[in-house]
């Protein structure tokens, strides 16, 4: 069964390499942003597989933490792309 998880880890790392190619090559900034967000998801699955391989439950917190931080980072960067400022000063609505 360990071989199965190792193969899965290799596949996840290969897809991360493909996403890194998109980050490097991506013609527009949103391409790079979505690739970085997907790299976050791949990192989550890689850490889940590593926590199975190392046989420890302590990496579960790290998974949730990376998910939260990836979400906040993607939201802030897309807000920067859309409006040019991340945190608005006052309400103009």
Task: Indicate whether 79 belongs to the interface with another protein (CB under 8 A).
Answer: yes
Give yes or no for residue 65 binding another protein (CB under 8 A): yes
Min CB(60)–another protein separation in Å? 10
Residue 70 CB, nearest distance to another protein (Å)?
11
Q: Say how many C-beta atoms besides its own lie within 10 A of residue 35's C-beta.
A: 20
- Residue of 11, 29, 64, 81 that binds another protein (CB under 8 A): 64
- Report yes or no: 47 and 62 within 8 Å, Cβ to Cβ: yes
CA 93 to chain centre: 32
CB of 75 to another protein, least distance (A): 5
Taking the CB of residue 12, how many other CB atoms lie within 10 A of it? Answer: 20
Residue 87 gets the label, from left (phi > 0), alpha (psi -120 to 50) or beta, of: beta
Is 92 near another protein (CB under 8 A)? Answer: yes
- List contacts with another protein (CB under 8 A): 58, 61-62, 64-65, 68-69, 71-72, 75-76, 79, 82-83, 86-93
């Amino acid at each position: 069964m360990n071989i199965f998880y190792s193969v899965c880890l290799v596949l996840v790392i290969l897809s991360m390499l493909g996403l890194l190619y998109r980050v490097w090559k991506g013609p527009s900034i949103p391409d790079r942003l979505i690739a970085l967000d997907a790299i976050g998801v791949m990192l989550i699955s890689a850490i889940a597989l590593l926590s199975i391989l190392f046989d420890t439950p302590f990496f579960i917190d790290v998974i949730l933490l990376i998910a939260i931080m990836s979400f906040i980072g993607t939201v802030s960067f897309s807000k920067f792309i859309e409006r040019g400022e991340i945190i608005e000063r006052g309400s103009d609505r």
